[in-house]
Amino acid sequence: MELLYASGLRVSELVKLDIENMDLHSHQIRVWGKGSKERVVLAGLPAIQSIQNYLNLGRPLLKGKRNTPALFLNPTGGRLSARSFQERLDKLAKQAGIEKHVHPHMLRHTFATHLLDGGADLRVVQELLGHSNLSTTQIYTHVTKSQARKVYMSSHPLARPQNNIAGREDE
């Protein structure tokens, strides 16, 4: 879950990852997206630490004697499927008391929204998401109320405190 949110990966990309796709030292992950397009995504320290913990503690227990390049494994040591990931997400959401249906793509949308709220350029977000068209990226972006207010207050001339309508003499 941590990696999906931290990187903006599609769940289909996540479950296709092999160990060799990970460069944990540089926080980079080589991904093959839609149309077999290769791209490099980044992941922050919490996600990298989670992957390291999984590689050191969880994966060896799942792998058993199987020799597989897959990064994420199911309980029998095979590659984790997108459906199994969804089932795990459903279980975690239920444990957290979330009644609304949660799907992996929500993490991708949240990734894009948080980047834009933090001031990221839309074209950079496009690249990180692996979109060919900017219009596709725009679908993923959700302007939060706080971000809309912040931009309005700093950008619109009548929104600034010193420009209240009652005190204006030039109208």
> Element (H or E) spanning 31, and its range?
strand 28-32
The pLDDT of residue 171 is 45
Residues labelled as active-site residues: 10, 34, 105, 108, 131, 140
The pLDDT of residue 11 is 94
pLDDT in tens, the chain (171 residues): 889 999 999 999 999 999 999 999 999 999 998 878 899 999 999 999 999 999 999 999 998 888 899 999 999 999 999 999 999 999 999 999 998 888 888 999 889 988 988 889 999 999 999 888 888 888 876 666 777 788 888 888 888 766 555 544 444
* Residues paired with 28 in a beta bridge: 23, 42
Domains and CATH numbers, the chain: 2-155 (1.10.443.10)
For the entire predicted model, the pTM comes to 0.78
Spacing of C-alpha 146 from chain mean position? 20
